[in-house]
Amino acid sequence: MAMASSQFFYSFASTLQKPRLFTVTCRSISAENGLVSVERPWKVADARLVLEDGSVWPAKSFGASGTQVGEVVFNTSLTGYQEILTDPSYAGQFVLMTNPHIGNTGVNFDDEESRQCFLAGLVIRSLSISTSNWRCKETLGEYLASRNIMGIYDVDTRAITRRLRQDGSLIGVLSTEESKTEDELLNMSRTWNIVGVDLISGVSCQAPYEWVDKTGSQWEFNSDGRNKETFHVVAYDFGIKSNILRRLASYGCKITVVPSTWPASETLKMKPDGVFLSNGPGDPSAVPYAVETVKEIIGKVPVFGICMGHQLLGQALGGKTFKMKFGHHGGNHPVRNIRNGRVEISAQNHNYAVDPESLPEGVEVTHVNLNDGSCAGLAFPQQKVMSLQYHPEASPGPHDSDPVFGEFVRLMKQEKARA
């Protein structure tokens, strides 16, 4: 097989300037049968995203190879893709980033929000060909490949986002396997369902452990929130993020993290000052055991729920939850605090919401999402309960809602004073 090299010269003439000479050098490999194949300096499409509506999206792959099924959701965050990748609440989902340029800051080991990547795959428009950040340890592609997570790029993410907004979240199949036909992939997408599946058991810890790390001094933005008094908090891990634990610790909490199946009786034996219910993936109706646990705890100690914890509280109080059309995913969702009229820009990640009309008398809606009017926060003062549908720990996202951790501490302090 002989190597050949040829040069092509193009001249560009203009009436206003002198002709300029461009030189393009191409390398080709001549095969024995006389055919010539050109060695392309760019990657060609080698993957497909097949959605349950029948649409097929050719793309280029990075990270792991193979075939994976999941629910496609879009995230509007401009930064923080590593925190998103390691957020357990994305288990079973393909995350499509609406921000077109992803990967430019690479990956570091300080921004992990959990012990591994739980999402099914990553869908982006443009993959950065270089990284530029002083904390970068490896590229995004290397990171995903080592964790067996599939990614695709050079796909029209704007068109897919419009489709998801119009039709709602869709099940999709990512594949780099040429042997699989589009009909096979389409059938996979139409026979897989995420509704009613217990995803929490796959992301929760298996045994209790103590958490002591606070927010590092170089990242602390609310040092006034630190308390001299210590409060013991039992945190239920439904898919908890590390920065939630750091913020609780920074506000003066000594934390014992327990699995999602941890009995309420064992929690109450620890005599905690408060119980925290974490975020987590999927459908709250798929984990009735968690709802029963929350029912047994309510009224006995102060309880604070975030995201999945908020939904579990809603059901435990007698309310209902429902699946949203395309959910809330991103770091720029406006929420109004009804109690003080303050508007917070929040980080959100959920596909389910609490129906406020189904809640019993005494339960107060404290926060409302300004994009669609959905319930974003609850309180039941008589039962010492408070919750938010979104993420006040901001990883990634703004810090507007961080003071809610202080509210939880005050709730525990008041209860401690009454005891």
DSSP 133: -
Q: Cα dihedral sign for 219, 392, 255, 117?
A: negative
CA separation for the pair 339, 44 (Å, rounded): 54
DSSP 66-107: SEEEEEEEEE--SS-HHHHHT-GGGBTEEEEESSSEE-TT-B
Coil, helix or strand at residue 61: strand
Enumerate the β-bridge partners of residue 23: 9
Contact 141, 103 (CB under 8 A): yes
Q: Which of 312, 316, 302, 309 is nearest to 267 (CA)?
A: 302
Contact 112, 87 (CB under 8 A): no
Angle of CA points 72, 74, 80, to nearest 5°: 120
CA separation for the pair 346, 76 (Å, rounded): 12
DSSP 94: E
CA torsion 202-240-358-287 (nearest 10°) is: 20
**Helix H or strand E encompassing 412:** helix 404-418
Active site residues: 307, 391, 393
Contact 66, 150 (CB under 8 A): yes
Contact 287, 262 (CB under 8 A): no
Contact 374, 311 (CB under 8 A): no
Residue type, 85: L
**Helix H or strand E encompassing 248:** helix 242-250
Angle of CA points 204, 210, 211, to nearest 5°: 85
CA separation for the pair 173, 70 (Å, rounded): 6
Tokens 């975020």, located at residue: 279
CA distances from 200 to 195, 282, 304, 359 (A): 13, 7, 18, 24
* Phi and psi at residue 31, to the nearest 5°: -85, 165
